[in-house]
Structure formats: structure tokens, C-alpha cells
Amino acid sequence: MVLHAGKLAFTHEPLAKLETTPTLNLPNPTLGALSQPLRAPLLLCYPRPNAFKIKVTPSPHTHLDARRSIVVELNTGANGTDSADIILRPISSGLQLYTKEAEAIEGCTLSVDAGNPSVIRVAHMAVRSLSKISLPYGIDNESPNVDLRVEAQYHVGNSDYTFLQTVSVPSSGHVDVSTQHISKKDHSILRVSPKWRSPIPVRLVGATLTTPAGLSASPGYSNLGSTIATHDEPVCLTFKVSRNKHTEAESDTDDAGKLQLTIEYRSLEDDVVLQVTSIFSHDLQTTSFAFLSELLLESLTTKLKACLGAAEYEAIALTSEVTLPPANAFGWEDILPHVPGDTTADLRAWLQTWHEVSPSHAKPAIT
């Protein structure tokens, strides 16, 4: 690696150069030496917290009779972009991305290169702007996650930059819905039982039943805001469907159409991750370690999902409180060797104090 600063050039070679492979299959001591731990210092570069970044999340809307989709969020940070070429490469087996059907849902204008349909081209984006793209996909198997390779080439003035990241997105097709229809003399009862395949509990936000002209529906419940559903304990939603009085004398053909059920819910994992990372980010900004927020927040999210399982989330659903393990058991030691040496001790002490105090105040919005 060579860094140029004006007329100065700094060269760094973290790996020893290989000698030419010997003939006659004679042993090469240089190749054997590479199996030993390298003593040369590694060069680690972290992006600034306000640098250009891409985040891929599941779509907040799932249609059981339509293609699933993911949302690609583009955050320009401190520098706007003249243009950006986004390429998403499938990693999961049987995954197919429908790039031609990509749609801008917030803050940007898209175009697809006819010569290279796998490239999503984004026009000019202003400084500190957020853009969202909806991208449909299909997958042959029911994998719990969708793995992607994100590549972006974006242009700022006369400079070109590259963004590379591998992401794993939870699959949105993990809901099974069973229905039961009971006919009465003057109305019908519709019972809907959604069942989530994921072992992590979900919080129901709301449910509505849209009817065609001539029919009306009323729910058999008052409030879903505090309803928690688990894989082993699904919920049952009841609706009363009746004919409007002014259409009773009209033909049944006026009621032609479909009933459309909409269920709004949030995964308890999303609530916990959002709440804990928000507290962590707020507390981190008041310290001298704020420049490491990109590294620490990513590690916090990964380790948080790893240390909390279905049993822990069920306890959180009952108590509305999040309890994290101590800092030394959380896994921070994996990344502390990679931060600047003069901040390691102070950062370790701050993380230990944060684990003892701040997480106890994290209460996901489940009540």
C-alpha cells in the first residue's frame, strides 16, 4: 500500500513478498514462514461517522401474494454525490434480484443502464440526504436470511470512490396466515390467525380489513398495541363482515371484489436493537471515542443479536427491560486490539461502565 501526500510517498507491506516457486518441488522456506504469525503491523482504516454509507433492510411491507422486496438506504453524509452506480450481487443460493423493477421510494431519481441491467444508477444527491430504493427479489428456498454483496461507485467532483460491504438481511417471508369463515343470517365472521415462523416474538401494531363496495367490516378487538405474538402462541383476529343497509336490495354483483387484510407488526428484535443502539450512540457522542462510532455501533449490533436468543426476547416481552451481559462477556475484546493503542485502556473502562448503567434503562416500546 502506497499513500501519497504531496511529494511524499509512504509504503507499507504487511505481508512478506513471496519468492519465485522453486522447481523440482523443493521445499521453500519462505512459504513455510508465512504460516507463522506476522509481526508486521496491520494497517486499519475506518470510515468517518459522516461518510457515505449504504444500509440494506427488509421492506416494511410484505404482500403474501406478491414478490418480496428489500430497501436500500443511501446516506450521503458530509459530501453530496454527483452520481452513484449501485450493484447488488446475490450470495444466498437461489436468490434472484429484479434490478429492472427497482423503484425510488424516497429522495432520489433512478435509471437502469440498458447495457448493464444489474446496475442501478442514482442521480445527484445533496449533502446529508437520505434516499431509499425498493428492490424486489425472489428466492427458491425458505432461507431465514438474504445475503448480498453491495458495491457502489459514486462520484464527487473529479474524484471517484468505492463502497463495498457484505450484508445479511432477514427474509420477509416468514408469516403463515390461516383463515376461518363463519356465515350467519345477516353477517359473516372472519377469523384470521397469523403465525410467525421466527422464534423471536413480534408486537402487533394494528390490523385492518378492507372490503369492496357494499360491504363493511368491524374488528372484534379494541387495541393491538400491547399484543405480543410468539411462534408457540399465535394470535387470532376476528372481524364482523356485514352488508351495508343502502345496498341490501341491490344485486350481489355489486359486492364483487376481494377482502384485503393488512397486519402491521414489529419484531421485538428490531425494537431492542433500535433502543440499545440509540442509547449507546447518544452516550458515545459525549466521549472522546466518538470517532470510532462506526466501528463500535456495527460491533454492538452484531454482538447484540448474537447474545440474545428466543428465551431472552420472551423475558424482555414480559418485563419490558433489556439486560445485557457484562462488557468482558459481551465480546468487546475482539475489536479492542484494533483501535488506536492510546485509547484501548480508556475505551475498555468506558465500555465496562456503560454495560453496568445504561442498558438497564433500555425499555423497548412494547407496552
Laid out side by side, the sheet with 228-229 consists of 228-229, 202-210, 260-267
Domain count, the chain: 3
CB atoms within 10 A of CB 16: 12
The total number of residues written for the chain in this structure = 367
* Side-chain-side CA neighbours of residue 350 (13 Å): 16
Last residue of a domain, one of 267, 286, 302: 267
Cell numbers representing residue 91 in the block: 450470495
Shared domain check, 283 and 189: no
Q: Which domain holds residue 306?
A: 269-361
Amino acid at 153: Q
Shared domain check, 149 and 60: yes
Shared domain check, 61 and 159: yes
Q: What is the pLDDT of residue 32?
A: 46
Q: What is the pLDDT of residue 72?
A: 92
Shared domain check, 188 and 147: no
Shared domain check, 58 and 163: yes
Q: What is the pLDDT of residue 34?
A: 44
DSSP 56-97: EEE-S---TTS-EEEEEEEE-TTS-BSEEEEEEEE-STTEEE
Shared domain check, 221 and 298: no
Q: What is the pLDDT of residue 366?
A: 44
Q: What is the pLDDT of residue 351?
A: 93
**Is residue 296 in a domain?**
yes
Shared domain check, 276 and 260: no
Shared domain check, 142 and 64: yes
Shared domain check, 203 and 164: no
Give the pTM. Answer: 0.65
Nearest CA to 364 out of 292, 308, 297 is that of 308
- pLDDT string in tens for the chain (367-residue length): 788 888 888 887 765 555 555 555 555 544 444 444 444 455 556 667 678 888 898 887 777 677 888 999 999 888 888 888 999 999 988 888 998 888 888 888 887 666 777 888 888 888 888 899 999 998 887 777 889 999 999 888 888 888 888 888 877 556 777 888 888 888 888 888 888 777 888 888 888 888 888 888 888 776 666 688 887 777 888 888 888 776 555 544 444 568 888 888 888 888 888 889 989 999 999 999 988 888 898 889 889 888 888 888 888 888 888 888 888 888 898 888 888 878 889 999 999 999 888 655 555 554 3
Shared domain check, 204 and 280: no
Last residue of a domain, one of 124, 144, 170: 170
Q: What is the pLDDT of residue 30?
A: 46
